[in-house]
Structure 1
C-alpha cells in the first residue's frame, strides 16, 4: 500500500518519460535522509529561537555563543523527550497530508511560528507564551498593532536557514504514504482517530509529569525543551478537585466563624442575607522590607509608618507566582485564593 515511488510512477506515466535509475536512487536516499532528520532539524531551530528570545538584549556575538552552548548542554533525557514529541507530530502530519513534502512544510512552519510567537511575547511583555494564553488571544489581537516587530540579525539568519530547509524539502522530498484513494484516506484517518483516543487516555499521565518552573518558564524552555514544556503545561487547563471538597464542607467551615460575629453589625439573619463591607487592599509588589529578609541593623527604623499601622489594619507578606512582571497573576491569586 505504501509505495515510495507511487508519485514518481504516476508522473512517469503522464509524461511518458522515465528518470535515470541512478538519479532516482539518489533522490530516494536524499528523501529518506530528509524524512529521518526533519524532526531533529526543526527541534534545533525551535530551540535556537527559544534561546534568542531570552538573549535578545545581548550582543550578537555573545548571543551566538550562548546558542551553541545551550543547544548542546540540554540533558540527554530531555533531548529524547523532545524528539519523541517532534517525531510524533511529524508522523501525524504525514498521516494527515500523505505527501511528506507537504507535511514537512506545514510541520516546520507551524513549529517555527510557535517559537516566534514565544519570542515576540517575551519581547513585548517580558513573560513567555504559555498555553493558557490561548484564552486571551482576542485581547492580544486588539493590541498587537501597537507593537513594533523587530528582527535582529541572528533571528533573520535563522529565518533564512528555515527558508532554505523548506526549499530543500520541496525539491528532494518524494515520499508519499500510499496512493491517493478513498481506501488509503480511510485507513490514515482511522489511525489518526486511534492516536487521538490514545492521547486522550494518556492525559492523566500528562498531569502527573514534572511541574513547570512557573517562576522562570524561560529556563524550562531552554533547559528542558520548548515543546516538552508546552506539553507539561496542559496540566494547568484543569484544576484538580481537592480531597474532601464539597459545598457542604465549605458551609460547615463557615459555620464555625458565624458564631464569633453574632455581636457585630454583620450578623447573618440567614444564609441568604449578608451586609456588604468595603475592604481596601493594597498589594505593594515593589516594596522590600529588608529588616524582614535578614538580620539587618540600622540606626533608625526603615519602615516606621507601615509598622505603626495596627488599628483596623492587617498586613503581612504574600507568596506570589511571578517576578519582573505578570502583575495580573499576583492580583488573581490575592483576590481569589486560587494558585496559578
Structure 2
C-alpha cells in the first residue's frame, strides 16, 4: 500500500508538470509539440502501471525503491512535457559558447551513458549485484547495446524514439528474466523462444507476478536511458542546417553499426574465442557473471548440435554395430534374457509409462531438516523389476527434454545448453519407443491433461508414431487439484483404456498435477502436509510435499488396481525433474563435497519398473540400478524381454563404462561424477573407458538424430493439420 501511495503522489506531480508545461507554452504563444507529449505520456503510463500493480498487491513494499522510481519517472516525464525548456538549456551547453565543442560530441556522450543505463535496466531486475559481473563481459554487453541504440539513433536521423524503445524492450526482457528465474531458478535460453506457446499456456497457473525492489530500480535505470536518448535527439541540427550529405552519413554510419553488431554475434565464436560459456549445471551463475546478452548469444550459437570430431556415417554405423555385438555376445545371450524374450513373445504385456510431473524425493536434502522421509509408498515398493536414482537433464522445468531422453535414448548432454528438441529439430525419423511398440503390433496412446500444443507435442507424437493423443479436451470433467488434472484422473483414463481394448498397448502418460508454482494456497486442508524447516514454515515447500503425498497415494491406488487386473501389465514410473527451490538447501547444507557431486544432487529424481506378473529371468526384488533417463528405455526393453534395437543394445553395453550421463555431468563405472565440459586427461582405466564411451555415444547419437547433418531442424510447428476422427471419443486427437 505504501508503494501505491508514493506512486499516486508521483502521478500527481507528473500531472502538475504537464500543466506547467502547458502554461509555459501558452505564455510563449505556442503549443506543446506532439513528440513532447508522447515522451511525457510514456513515463506517466509507466507510473500508472506501477500504481495499479502495487494497488493489487503485486509490488514489493519497499520505500526506497518506490521513492527512487517515482522521482526518476516524474523527472523524466517533466523533461518530456517540457521539451522546449530542456532543448533551450541543452543547446546552451554546446557550440562555441558552451562547454562542449559540438552537439555531435554531446550526443555521443549521451548515447554512451544511455547505453550503460539500458544495460542496468536489463540486468538489475534479476542480477542484483552488477559488480559480480566479469568487467570484460559487462563492457561487451555495454558495447552491444550502445552500438544497436546508436545505430537506430543515426538511421532515424538522430531521433531518440526508436533507441528509447530498445531500452524499454531490454528492461521488459529483464523483468521476464526475473520471473523466469523466480519460478524456475533457470535463466531464459534461446530454446525458450521456440516454446513460447507452452510458457504462455502455464504462465497463469499458480504464479504470483510480484515486482521486486530491484525491478523498480531497473525500471528507473531504463527511464534514465530513455530520457538521455531524448536529450540526444534534441541536439540534432535544426531543419535549415540539415544537408543531404549529413542524411547519407547518418544512414551509412547507423547501418554500419547495426551490421557490425550482426557480424560480431554471428562470426565470432563466443564459446571458444571469447570463452563465454553457459555451464549447464549452473546456468544462472553463467548469466550473472557474464551478463544476459553475452550468455544468451553464446547459447544461441551452440544451439546447433556439435558434429563430433572425424564423424562419418559409416563410422557411426560401425560403432553402433560394435556395441550391439558386444551386448549380443554378453548379456544378450544369457539364460535370463532368453527366458524373458520367450515370455514376452507369447504374452505381449501392456506397457504403461508414467512420467510424473516434478515427482522427486526431497528427503535427500537431509530430510529438509524437518524429519521428512519422502513418498512413503513409492519408496517402500519391494517387488519391482528395477528401481533407483534417475539422473535427468532438467531442473525446475523443461519437462519435454526428460520425455525426449526416455522415448529416444538420446541424451541432452550431447546437444548443448538451452536446447529443446521437441520444438527445434526434425524428429520424423528419430528412433523411439512408440514407433518400436507400434511395429510390434501394439496400440500406442500418449496422454497429457493439458494443451496438445505444449512443447509441440501434437506434432512430435505424430512423428513418433502414437496412434492417439489424449489431451486436455479428454479430461474436461476430470478431478482437479489446484486447478490441474490429478494423477488419479490420468490413471482412471488408463484403466478405461485397458478395459475397452484387449490389444497390447503402449501408453505414455505425462501428468500435470504437480506443476509449479507452489504458492497457490489452493491445497485442501485435509491434504496439507506442514513441515517445520529449522523451525520455520515455507509455504512453497509445504505445498510441493503435499502434492507429492497425493501422487504417492494415487500411485498406491493405481498399482493396487493393476495387481488385481486379469491381464499382464508393466509400469514404468519416474519423475521428470525436481522443483525449482532445492538449490537453496543444497548450497546451504552440503558445503564439503566436490562440485560434480554437489550439482548432480539437483539433477536427479527416481524411477521404478514394476510388473503385475512374474517376469521370466527376473527375481523382482527391486534391484537398485541408478541410471540416467536416456538409458531407461533400453533398460525397460531388456528387463521385459522385448526386442531391442541395435541402438538400445549399444546403449546397454555403453553403460558398462558410463552408467549415467545427463546435461549436468557423467559418471564412470566406479560411480565418480564429472561435470559437463570437464575432461579426464589420462586417468585410471575406468576414467579412460568412460571417456571413450562418452565420445562413442556422441557419435552414435548424432547418427540417430541427424544422420549426415543436412536436415536437422523441424519442418512443422504447432500446425492445425490434425483431424478429428468421428469414431474417436469427443475431443480426442487423431495422430495421422
- Would the aligned equivalents of 2:270 and 2:297 in 1 still touch at CA under 8 Å? no
> 2: distance between equivalents of 1:306 and 1:120?
34
Q: Match for residue 240 of structure 1?
A: 306
Measure the CA separation in 2 of the matches of 1:264 and 1:205: 50
**1:314 equivalenced with 2:380 (yes/no):** no
2:230 to 170, 176, 184: 170
Aligned to 1:11: none
Pairing partner for 1:75 from 108, 125, 134: 134
TM-score where L is the length of structure 1: 0.64
Tell me which structure has the larger Cα radius of gyration: 2
CA contact (8 A) 2:151 2:254 kept: no
Distance, in Å, in 2 between the alignment partners of 1:235 and 1:222 is 19
Name the structure 2 match of 1:254. Answer: 324
What's the secondary structure of 1:315's corresponding residue? strand
CA distance 1:265–1:135, change in 2 (3 Å): same
Once the two structures are superposed, residues 297-339 of structure 1 have per-residue CA deviations (whole angstroms, 9 ceiling, x without a partner) of xxxxxx999698576x233433334445545444444444322
Contact 2:138–2:291 (CA under 8 A) maintained in structure 1: yes
Secondary structure of 1:49 counterpart: coil
CA contact (8 A) 1:39 1:87 kept: yes
Deviations 1:8-29 (A, max 9, x none): xxxxxxxxxxx89845435826
Name which of 97, 120, 125 aligns with 1:44.
120
Q: 1 or 2, which has the higher strand percentage?
A: 2
Matching residue of 1:286: 360
- By how many angstroms is 1:188 displaced? 5.3
Q: Is 2:141–2:293's contact at 8 Å kept on the other side of the alignment?
A: yes
Question: Cα 1:257–1:287, aligned 2, differ >3 Å: closer, same or farther?
Answer: same
Higher helix share: 1
Q: Is the 1:209–1:232 Cα contact (8 Å) retained in structure 2?
A: no
SS class of match (2:197): helix
The aligned length equals: 287
Q: Deviations over 1:169-200 (max 9, x none)?
A: 2134335896345x865775477556645543
Q: Would the alpha carbon gap of residues 140 and 325 (structure 1) be closer, same or farther in structure 2, given more than 3 Å must change?
A: closer
Deviations 1:16-54 (A, max 9, x none): xxx898454358264332122222222222221123xxx
Residue 211 of structure 2 aligns to a residue in which SS? coil
Larger CA deviation: 26-35 vs 109-118: 26-35
1:34 equivalent among 89, 110, 126: 110
Provide the TM-score with structure 2 as the length reference. 0.33
Question: In angstroms, what is the RMSD of aligned CA positions?
Answer: 4.4
The CA distance in 2 between the partners of 1:209 and 1:142, in whole Å, is 36
* Corresponding residue for residue 110 of structure 1: 169
Change over 3 Å in CA distance of 1:191–1:152 after alignment to 2: closer
Q: Is the 8 A contact 1:50 1:226 kept in 2?
A: no
Instruction: Pick closer, same or farther for the CA change 1:172–1:137 going to 2, 3 Å.
Output: same
Q: Using a 3 Å threshold, how does the CA distance of structure 1 residues 76 and 325 change in structure 2: closer, same or farther? A: same
